[in-house]
């Protein structure tokens, strides 16, 4: 079971990256065109944050079940930072009136989250698209 969890955690990163890039592209295009904030942006940003949170949950389960080694400390903190960065605009916009919502905070937070994901994967000595047999 642990091997399956590890493969799920490792494989889910591709979905996280695809959704992150889609959300980033939507946010950049929306910002450049100056169109009103829409539900698609909210949905893509929510999917990206939700997938990152699910990754954190899978990682936490792996750590609790004994898959911990010291090099993971940097990975853990960077990934927690990525999940937080992706969540910030969603939480802030929940309290902001619709006419005051813009795309730029999503551009910044998604770029930050993707950068932290890249650094977190690099912290354990792997490339962002690299696969390894465990």
Q: What's the token pair of residue 16?
A: 């996280």
Of 67, 96, 82, the residue nearest 128 (C-alpha)? 82
131: confidence class by pLDDT, cuts 50, 70, 90? low
pLDDT(33) > 60: yes
Give per-residue pLDDT as tens, 104-114.
Answer: 999 999 999 99
Per-residue confidence (pLDDT) for residue 78, from 0 to 100: 96
- Contact by Cβ (8 Å): 23, 110: yes
pTM (2 decimals)?
0.90
Round to whole Å and give the CA distance between 127 and 114.
13
């Amino acid at each position: 079971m642990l091997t399956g969890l590890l493969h799920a955690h490792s494989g889910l990163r591709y979905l996280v990256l695809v959704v992150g890039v889609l959300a980033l592209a939507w946010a950049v295009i929306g910002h450049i065109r100056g169109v009103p904030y829409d539900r698609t942006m909210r949905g893509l940003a929510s999917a990206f944050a939700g997938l990152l949170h699910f990754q954190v949950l899978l990682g936490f389960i792996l750590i609790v079940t004994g898959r911990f080694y010291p090099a993971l400390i940097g990975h853990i903190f960077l990934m927690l930072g990525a999940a937080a960065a992706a969540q910030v605009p969603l939480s802030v916009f929940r309290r902001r009136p619709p006419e005051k919502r813009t795309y730029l905070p999503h551009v910044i937070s998604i770029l930050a989250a993707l950068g932290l994901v890249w650094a977190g994967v690099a912290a354990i000595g792997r490339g962002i698209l690299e696969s390894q047999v465990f």
